[in-house]
């Protein structure tokens, strides 16, 4: 939960949390400006087939809100020099617990 609240704070307090069944917590961003911010932050940084779903989100936003967000290309940079999200999450998680 600490990671989620940090992420929400770092994003300007957009979104909300929803508790699911068991250990599931969802971070939901539902307003157009929040979704556009998330798209800008992630655009061009995905390395996996999840980029296909991300581009479907971009298509949906472009069609629904008459936007012109370009499709996101796969990040083909060297893996060890650009693992931004993993490092961000792991670093914040460890820092909050006083780990090195």
Query: What pLDDT tens digit does each residue of the chain (100 aa) get?
Result: 777 788 788 888 888 888 888 888 888 888 999 999 999 988 998 888 889 999 999 999 999 999 999 999 988 877 666 665 555 555 555 555 555 4
Domain extent, residue 78, equals: 31-82
Query: Quick check: helix, strand or coil at residue 27?
Result: strand
Q: Let me know whether 53 and 74 are in one domain.
A: yes
Kindly state the DSSP code that residue 19 receives in the 8-state scheme. Answer: E
Residue 59 has which token pair?
């298509």
The pTM of the full predicted model, rounded to 2 decimals, is 0.70
Q: In this structure, how many other beta carbons lie within 10 angstroms of the beta carbon of residue 43?
A: 18
Query: Quick check: helix, strand or coil at residue 28?
Result: strand
pLDDT for residue 80:
67
**How many domains does the chain fold into?**
2
Q: Let me know whether 78 and 44 are in one domain.
A: yes
User: CA separation (Å) from 67 to 37, 56, 58, 59?
Assistant: 13, 14, 9, 9
Q: Let me know whether 20 and 41 are in one domain.
A: no
Q: Let me know whether 37 and 50 are in one domain.
A: yes
In a domain? residue 99? no
pLDDT for residue 70:
97
């Amino acid at each position: 939960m600490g990671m989620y609240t940090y992420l929400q704070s770092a994003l300007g307090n957009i979104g909300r949390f929803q508790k699911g069944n068991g250990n599931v917590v969802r971070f939901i961003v539902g307003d157009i400006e929040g979704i556009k911010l998330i798209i800008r932050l992630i655009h061009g940084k995905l390395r996996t087939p999840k980029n296909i779903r991300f581009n479907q989100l971009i298509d949906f936003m472009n069609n629904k809100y008459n936007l012109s967000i370009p499709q996101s290309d796969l990040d083909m940079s060297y893996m060890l020099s650009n693992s931004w999200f993993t490092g961000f999450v792991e670093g914040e998680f460890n820092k909050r617990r006083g780990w090195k």
